């Protein structure tokens, strides 16, 4: 098994574990404003996407330093992976809750794990194809940077639409 594949498999497991732990960090830190930018602050679907995005981005940054510098299109592959993983979470969650009429924790956890699997499968597939255009790499970096900024900004100033609605409190954001 090549080194990049080993990093992808390790990342898959680390992101699942870190994402699960991040769910509780906001309360563990006494609702820290600084921490709130990186972890879910409520039960909205948007905030729960941080469980995938933040550890995935952190792990990808470490992976880049270890093996990614030598891979053309590394950030393009990582951006495509996390976007597809988050899309899978949103689509699967709203589809099953729309059909069933409510959510179940065990299904939500399964959807999160599936989203992480999709993210790493897609990034792994693209890492082995090697993008050869500089615009792809720049587009990947730009997408990840914009997503990061969106997660931070929408924690404090969320749009008042369903994706950002906390179904428990009926509120938005922090």
pLDDT in tens, 3-30: 888 999 999 999 999 999 999 999 999 9
- For the chain, how many structural domains are there in total? 1
Q: Is residue 2 helix, strand or coil?
A: coil
Map tokens 């080993």 to a residue. Answer: 6
34-48 residue pLDDT tens: 999 999 999 999 999
Tokens coding 161: 């639409």
Percent of the chain scored above 70 by pLDDT?
98
Whether 65 is covered by a domain: the verdict is: yes
Whether 171 is covered by a domain: the verdict is: no
Whether 71 is covered by a domain: the verdict is: yes
Fill in the DSSP letter of residue 172: B
Whether 170 is covered by a domain: the verdict is: no
Whether 147 is covered by a domain: the verdict is: yes
Whether 173 is covered by a domain: the verdict is: no
Whether 13 is covered by a domain: the verdict is: yes
């Amino acid at each position: 098994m090549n080194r990049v594949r080993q990093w992808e498999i390790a990342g898959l497991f680390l992101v699942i574990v870190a994402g699960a732990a991040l769910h509780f960090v906001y309360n563990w830190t006494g609702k820290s404003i600084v921490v709130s930018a990186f972890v879910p602050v409520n039960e909205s679907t948007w905030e729960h996407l941080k469980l995938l995005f933040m550890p995935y981005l952190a792990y990808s940054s470490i992976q880049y330093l270890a093996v990614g510098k030598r891979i053309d299109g590394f950030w393009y592959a990582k951006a495509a992976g996390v976007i597809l993983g988050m899309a899978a979470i949103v689509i699967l969650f709203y589809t099953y809750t729309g059909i069933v009429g409510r959510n179940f924790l065990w299904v939500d956890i399964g959807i999160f794990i599936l989203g992480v699997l999709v993210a790493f499968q897609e990034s792994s597939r693209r890492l082995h194809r090697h993008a050869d255009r500089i615009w792809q790499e720049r587009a990947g970096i730009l997408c990840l940077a914009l997503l990061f900024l969106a997660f931070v900004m929408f924690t404090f100033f969320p749009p008042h639409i369903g994706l950002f609605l906390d179904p428990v409190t009926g509120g938005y954001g922090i």
